[in-house]
Amino acid sequence: MKPLIKICGISNLDFLNEVIVLNGVHFIGFIFHETSPRNVTDDFLNAIIDYDFQDKRPVCVYVNATPDFINKTSSYFKNPIIQFHGDETNQFCVSFNKDFWKVVRMKDSHSIDDVNNYPDASAILLETYKKGIHGGTGESFDWKLFENANLQHKIVLSGGINIQNVDNAISIQPWCIDINSGIETSAGIKDISLAKNILQKF
């Protein structure tokens, strides 16, 4: 069974309009983190009020954000998933009464144990560990680190997935594959032709 697909890091309305009509995309991710080149602006948020996501579900991504900021920005979306990329606890994640994904940064074979700290997560997103960086590394980790783990959660595989390695990602059979920098011409600049090419692999 092929994994579901998430296209993440969208901050441009033109690209959103192009990707929203593509078949095979299930989740659309928006990053709310000022230091990210994919950070969503107020202008972008105002442009997508009442936006029709059709059969795709929005995912709002945060890194150690305040509850007020999370509530305010996620309110622009209907029934969003909240993705927590920082040091948030399970209790904090649950407090928003929304489906949430928690990111676990994979450094070594022990990193997978962190999954157990989030029993209420709808899914766990595995991302590449890089000191001082909360995701967005554009690099893959050793996917063998979780291949044999007996995980109860749905797994979203992330980190540097592109046209060259997506076949390997699919073969591991995660529940979902997160595609971000692998369809960019430069940091934060998505290319719809690259997106279409990678989607042909699914």
Map out the domains of the chain as residue ranges: 4-199
pTM: 0.94
CATH of domain 4-199: 3.20.20.70
Cα of 19 vs its chain's centroid, Å: 15
One digit per residue, the tens of pLDDT, for the chain of length 202 reads 899 999 999 999 999 999 999 999 999 999 999 999 999 999 999 999 999 999 999 999 999 999 999 999 999 999 999 999 999 999 999 999 999 999 998 887 778 888 999 999 999 999 876 666 555 556 676 777 666 666 789 999 998 899 999 998 998 889 999 999 999 999 999 999 999 999 999 9
Residue 202 corresponds to which tokens in the numbers above? Answer: 């699914």
Q: Looking at the DSSP assignment, which residues form a beta bridge with residue 61? A: 31, 83
Give buried/exposed letters for 31-66 (b at 16+ CB in 10 A, else e): bbbeebebbbeeebbeebeebebeebbbbbbbbebe
- Give the per-residue pLDDT at 11: 97
Give buried/exposed letters for 116-150 (b at 16+ CB in 10 A, else e): eebeebbbbbbbbbbeeebbbbbebbebebbeeee
Return d(Cα 157, Cα 69) in angstroms, integer: 26
Return d(Cα 166, Cα 178) in angstroms, integer: 10
Q: How far is CA 79 from CA 15, 27, 99, 168, in A?
A: 21, 12, 9, 32
